[in-house]
A and B are shown apart, each in its own frame.
Chain A
Amino acid sequence: MKRSHVLIMLAILFSASNPHLDAQHKKLRVVTTLNYLKYIAAEIGGEDADVLALANPKQDPHYVTPTPRMNQVAGSADLFIENGLSLDMWAKNVIDASGNPSIQPGSKGYLVATINLPVKELPTEISRSWGDIHPQGNPHVWLDPFNVKIIATNIANQLIALDEENASNYQKRLESFRYRLDATMFGEELLKAVGPSAGDILTRKAKNNELLPWLKSKKLDSKLGGWMKKGQDLDGMKIISYHKTYVYFAERFGLKLMGELEEKPGIPPPPKHRDAVIDQIKREGIKVILNDNFYSSEAAEYVASKSSAKVVITYLDVGASPEVDTYDKLISHLIEEILQASK
């Protein structure tokens, strides 16, 4: 009797703890530089991955001071994901200092999330010789939800390469993430009306700037919902920004970026540039100046005080403020704030 008790207890113990232990063991440790990447990686990784972000979402992603804690976290990572495009260049220091061979550039455990993306403002021969701050193009790609779909695909592919056993899980989560994003972008009703491959078809139409005429020609325009519907009020609106942060966002929602307050990042603008921006705001009736939360808003406030424009303090990364703790909220918040300020 006693012996069988022990056996049963052992059996219970093993059956209870073993799978648990296994699951713990198999979880991929993913480290990302920025918090929007953490958000996406956690969506795709689900229970198969533990995801951590290094940067403080409130601070400027261009300049993060690596700490020993970051090196330690990266040291035990299976996958390191960075934005790339010369935005989070400090990631290189973390990877070097981590001493972790499996996350070095070129290995399976290293991913530049922005591969396969249509990067804007690639430097030409001329601008390169002038020393461009973003020599690999404008890095603020994630403010266009279509790019986030591609980033999610890149991350899913990398997770699958690292953990083939759970490939179907990652694939499934990628599909549902992409569907959710499509639904938030176009509205579920429109997706259903278009039928198979609706997300892909509508994305192509929007990227080719023919979504609305196309929807009208198919008598589907009344079904449009989501961000694209809301963004119709942004279409054609002229705005000024502090840094060239909103190029992708503006293109997606039809905003017209009329210029930046800074001429070169980090250098006070020439006085004539400052006055030219003020003149332009008055002349063109521009109502909104976008200022990233981590840039000092003195310049924007000065310009606003000389004209009728309003300053909107914007958040760039997921989690920069409690009201933007998911990617969806980040974009919704940005759209809302601009609409509010332009009224």
Chain B
Amino acid sequence: MEQIFYLPSTMLWPLAACLVLTGIHVYLGVHVIARKVIFVDLALAQIAALGTVSGVLLGYDVGKDPTAIYLYSLAFTIFGAFIFSTTRMKGEKVPHEAIIGIVYAVTFAATILVLSRSALGPQELDHIIKGELLWVQAPVVIKTAVIYGIVGLFHFIFRKKFMAISFNPAKAENEGLSVRLWDFLFYMSFGFVITSSVAIAGVFLVFSYLVIPSVGGMLISEKLSVRLITGWIGGAIISFIGVKLSWTTGLPTSPLIVVLFALTLILSGIIRYFRIAPDKKSAVGNMFAALAVVAIFAGGLFFFRKAAEDPLEHAISSLTSPIATDRQTAIMDLRAIPEKKEKWLPLVTGRLHDQDNEVRKAAIELLDSLKEVSALSEILKLLNDNSDEVKESAIKAIRDLGDSAASAELFKKSESEPDPEMRTRLLVTSLELGNPDAVLPLIAIVNGGGIFAEDAFGALKDHLPFDFKKEDTGKLLAWWNEHRTRMHWRPANNMFAEQ
């Protein structure tokens, strides 16, 4: 039991925020539905966002001047409340919903226009949609709870007036109530709430808290008090389950709560259906029929899912993609299926002449790791490559795969190589493949005393059966001239030796 109610301390504030939202939005939702202005929160949220980005455009910084930014968005919201209260027409000649839709579209577009000129960029729009439930902390939750408490108290004190103008405005006007004034007060307090809520939870979640519990309550009862109480209890339960499930499943919190709300709505719809159905037996039948339709639909979706592509075919077709990294990825993928080597080997060898350095390099490395001696002659050509990385890999592959013919190639290339390190490396590799011609130039490098003298010295010392000091290259030279004709490479010892 304890397990079920366990929530880590870091999730308590997001949950508290959800509960605060439930409290005020379930109540406001009743008004919103009675007034048939379902999307007014989206419009007001967008107006508040336009205020934020306008504040940024006029020089304020979201991080540094939060108060100024908040006042901007609040001022815009109050202006929005003014628009909505003055545009409510008697007899609904133009539906209020149309005006709300227009305000939403226009402020959204205006927000994009302002953003195109500011440093914020589209992530501000993203922010409005998704909110920051996960990053909410104690001060924000407490502040919000206080604001909502004041708004709630205001509505409680004047509950008769607010209810009258929402549920029966014509009657209220006849009784001498200023509908425009109380409309304005309603939208202003509503805007106050929405501005804070959207910043925390994003428009999706706020919209859900506003509308879904209220609609769910309507399905169960017509009575206002029952609707409110079921809405509050249901909203709180869903908030807890959502936060908890988000923690255990790793799914993002806000969207998960929204989807859970929808599920409970479906559930309460089914309950209502059974409650009002005159014939319970046929209701059960209909229920099963509906379930069958859903099952067929879901099964169909699954049946027509994309079949897994054969990795070999995928890699082979990617080898000729115009995008260089696709070709590189293809070579990496082929490495994982060596059992089908005879199918892809010639294609990878062909990639040794790819126009992209990294693809050539990847091809060399794959052929090297497979000890593919048949590719040696092609790899030798890459000693003239204009990329250092490709050359490096080619030298390494030749060292692994090479023979005496290859060592002659390396030697030849060293004669025209301007880069002293690359030249040393070519000569050392040539020596290591048993080419005696490399000895004299390496001695010259040691004598030259440059940065790479040490490397040349080390190679000579390692591969010649003659002990000498770095300063004694004269001795080495004399010894080499005397023994050269009798020296042969012994791959087993990695050394030259006399026959």
Contact = CB atoms under 8 A, between A and B. Distances in A.
Interface of A: 56, 58-60, 63, 65, 67, 84-85, 105-106, 112, 115-119, 122-125, 129, 136-137, 150, 194-197, 200-201, 203-204, 207, 217-218, 220, 266-275, 278, 293-299, 301-302, 305
- The 7 A-B pairs at the shortest CB distance, nearest first, are namely A270-B250, A59-B121, A197-B419, A302-B135, A116-B357, A268-B252, A136-B325
11 contacts: A117-B357, A122-B332, A136-B325, A137-B329, A196-B420, A197-B422, A203-B388, A218-B454, A270-B250, A271-B134, A299-B132
A268 B332 contact: no
B419 A196 contact: yes
B418 interface: yes
Main DSSP-derived SS at the B contact region: helix
A63 B328 contact: no
B142 interface: no
Contact of B358 (A117, A124, A204, A294): A117
B251 interface: yes
Contacts of B135: 298-299, 301-302
Contact of B10 (A197, A275, A299): A275
A295 B130 CA distance: 14
B108 to A, nearest CB: 14
B116 A204 contact: no
Query: Which of B10, B121, B388 gathers the greatest number of chain A CB atoms within 10 Å?
Result: B121
Contacts of A194: 451
Contacts of B420: 195-197, 201
A60 B121 contact: yes
Interface in B323-340: 323-326, 328-329, 332-333, 336
Nearest to B332: A122
Interface string B291-318: 0000000000000000010010000000
Contact of B333 (A116, A125, A201, A270): A125
Given A124-B332, A275-B8, A119 B121 contact: no
A83 B35 CA distance: 52
Contacts of B356: 115-116
Given A85-B325, A294-B120, 16 more contacts: A112-B323, A112-B324, A117-B358, A118-B358, A119-B325, A122-B329, A136-B323, A194-B451, A203-B388, A204-B421, A267-B252, A268-B252, A271-B8, A272-B250, A274-B10, A302-B137
A281 to B, nearest CB: 14
Contact of B419 (A200, A294, A298): A200
Nearest to A274: B134
Contacts of B126: 266
B328 A122 contact: yes
B389 interface: yes
A194 B451 CA distance: 7
B419 to A, nearest CB: 4
B87 interface: no
B374 interface: no
A295 B251 CA distance: 21
A63 B115 CA distance: 12
B392 interface: yes
Given A197-B420, A271-B253, A275-B8, A137 B325 contact: yes
Contacts of A122: 325, 328-329, 332
Contacts of B325: 85, 119, 122, 136-137
A203 B198 CA distance: 51
A195 B450 contact: yes
A267 B246 CA distance: 13
B258 to A, nearest CB: 13
A294 B121 contact: yes
Contacts of B450: 195
A217 B328 contact: no
A190 to B, nearest CB: 11
B220 to A, nearest CB: 32
B418 A270 contact: no
Nearest to A302: B135
B336 A118 contact: no
B134 A297 contact: no
A197 B127 CA distance: 51
Contacts of A301: 135
A136 B325 CA distance: 6
